[in-house]
Chain A
C-alpha cells in the first residue's frame, strides 16, 4: 500500500509543509509496510458485530447548554450564533 500523503492531507484538512512532507512520506510508508500483512487475511472471515443496542425513550433531557456555556469556549459567537468566514456552497 502506498500512502498518498497529499490526498490524505487534503481529505483531513491538513497542510503539511514541504520540508515535513518528505519525512512524513517516509514515516507513513514505513507504517504502511507494517500494516500490509493484513492483506493476507481471508475474506471469508466473518466480521459481524454480535452486540445489540438498547435504544432510548423519546424524552427530553436537562442537558441543554446555556449561551454562557457556549460562549466560554466559542472562538467567535455573538447575537446567539457562531461565526465563520463566508462559506460558499
Chain B
C-alpha cells in the first residue's frame, strides 16, 4: 500500500573488556570511585602521549572476522577534533581513512527468513568521560574521567535494515556475537554497548532519502521505539509536501519522542587528520590466522542452523544459541545423534531452564554430560523409567557425576513394565473399582485416567503408565 520504504543504518559502539585502557595502562574498570583510574595520558595533561594497547587491536580483529570483514593489513589512527567537557584532549583518537576492518556482513534469522546486513567498517577508538548534570538547581555539571580512554569498537552497518524489528534483531545478533567472542560484557545499563540510529525514507526504487541521526538511544527496545517515531515523523513531513532536513536528533525515551540537536549548518567540522603520535600499525597474516582459529561457530549461524536444519523453534534456538556453553552442549548432543534434536531441546528448555532459574546458576555450573542425557533418554525410550521419574534422574545428573543406571537403582525408579505383572495389577484394580468400570463403559472416558491412577498407587508409582493404560483398555474393551 505504501510506495515508500524505510532505510535504516546503525552505528554501534561496544566497550572492549581489556584489562587496561586503549592508550594507557589505567585499569579498564566500571564502577570505581570517580577519577581514581586516571593518569596524565587519559586526563590529557600537557606533554602526555598515547600508547596503543595490542589487545584492543586483537579484539577488534576478532569481531571483524566474526562479521566476515576484510582486515586491513595496515591501519592508522586519526584525530577527531571537537570541544566538549568530557573530552580531555578536545580530540578523540579514532580511525578515519584506514580503519581496521571493512566490507563485512552479518546474517541472522528475522521474521522467518535470513536477513543479511552489510558491515561498512569496524574501527577502534577511545571513549570519553562521564558527565553528570546537577539536579538541585546548581547549574553545574560534574565530570568523571574514569571512562575516558576505555577502548571502543564502532561497528557501522550499511543502510540495509528496513524495519524497527529488523534493527532490534540485528542489535541482538551483534550483542550475542560480542558475548561469544568474550570481548564485551554487553551491559547496556552500564553503557558498555550503545547505538546511534540513522533513518531515511524514500520512494521504492528511488534514491535514498535524507537521513536523520538519532542519539541517546539507550536500550534495544528504545531503538525500536525511536525508529517507529522517526518513520512516522518523516512520513508526515513527506505527506505534507515538506522536505527532510539532515539533522541529528536526541531521543527522549520517557517522552517517547526526539528533539533536534544540530543541523548540518551548525554541525561540527571534525577536521580529521592522521594521529601524529601513533605510527600506522600492522596486522600480520599470521596473527589473523591465529585469531581466526579462536573464533567458535557464531550464535547467529547456530540459530539459522537450529531452525532451518534441526526444526527447533525460533524462541528455543535463540535461547540455546545465546549461551556459548549451552549451545556447545546442545551441538554435541546433536552430533551424537542418539536422539532427535527436539528431544534434547525439550529437556533443555523445560527441566534444565527450570533448574537453572530456581538455583540461580549458569549451565556451566551443572554436571550434566552429553552421555548422561543420552543414557537418560535411552531409559525413557526403553520404558525403564517414566517421564516423571526421568525428571528426578535429570536433577541428579545436574548435580552429580553418577551414571544413569546408578541413579535409577539408588532411587528405585525402575519402572515396572513386565506385562504379566502389569496384568495382575490391572485385574486387581478393575475388580475393586466396579463403579469406575461401569462409568467408563457408559461413556465417561476420564474414568480411565482414574483407573490408571489407581494402578500407579498400587504399584507405588512404578508401573509404566503408558503400558498400564494400554492393558487396562484391552481389558475394558472385552
Measuring CB to CB, which residues of chain A are less than 8 angstroms from any residue of chain B? 11, 13, 49, 51-53, 55-61, 63-65, 67, 70, 80-87, 89
Contacts and interface: CB of A to CB of B under 8 A. Distances in A.
B281 A55 contact: yes
Nearest to B144: A81
Contacts of B27: 60
B35 A70 contact: yes
B188 interface: no
B477 interface: no
Contact of A53 (B142, B274, B281): B281
27 contacts: A11-B268, A11-B271, A49-B76, A49-B280, A51-B279, A51-B280, A52-B74, A55-B52, A55-B53, A56-B51, A57-B53, A57-B54, A58-B55, A60-B20, A60-B25, A61-B20, A61-B24, A61-B39, A70-B43, A82-B143, A82-B144, A83-B142, A84-B141, A85-B140, A86-B140, A87-B85, A89-B250
Of all A-B residue pairs in the complex, the 9 with the closest CB atoms, nearest first, are A61-B25, A51-B279, A58-B55, A55-B54, A81-B142, A80-B34, A53-B281, A82-B143, A53-B279
Contacts of A87: 84-85, 131, 133, 141
B325 interface: no
A84 B139 contact: no
Contact of B43 (A61, A65, A85): A65
Contacts of A67: 35-36
B19 interface: yes
A61 B19 CA distance: 11
B18 to A, nearest CB: 5
A69 to B, nearest CB: 9
B19 A59 contact: yes
A53 B52 contact: yes
Interface residues of B, number: 53
Contacts, number: 116
Interface of B: 18-20, 24-27, 33-41, 43, 51-57, 74, 76, 83-85, 131-134, 138-145, 216, 250, 261, 268-269, 271, 274, 278-282
Contacts of A56: 25, 51-54
A65 B34 contact: no
Contacts of B278: 53
A86 to B, nearest CB: 5
Nearest to B29: A60
Contacts of B55: 57-58
Contacts of B131: 87
Nearest to A82: B143
Nearest to B268: A11
Given A80-B36, A81-B132, 5 more contacts: A56-B52, A57-B53, A63-B40, A67-B36, A84-B141
A60 to B, nearest CB: 5
A86 B139 contact: yes
B25 A55 contact: no
B313 to A, nearest CB: 41
Nearest to A63: B39
A60 B274 CA distance: 27
Nearest to B26: A64
Contacts of A58: 18-20, 53-56
A52 B280 contact: yes
A16 to B, nearest CB: 17
Residue with the highest number of chain B CB atoms closer than 10 Å, among A53, A63, A83: A53
A11 B51 CA distance: 28
Contact of B36 (A51, A55, A60, A64): A64
A59 B20 CA distance: 6
Given A49-B76, A56-B52, A89-B261, A83 B140 contact: yes
A53 B280 contact: yes
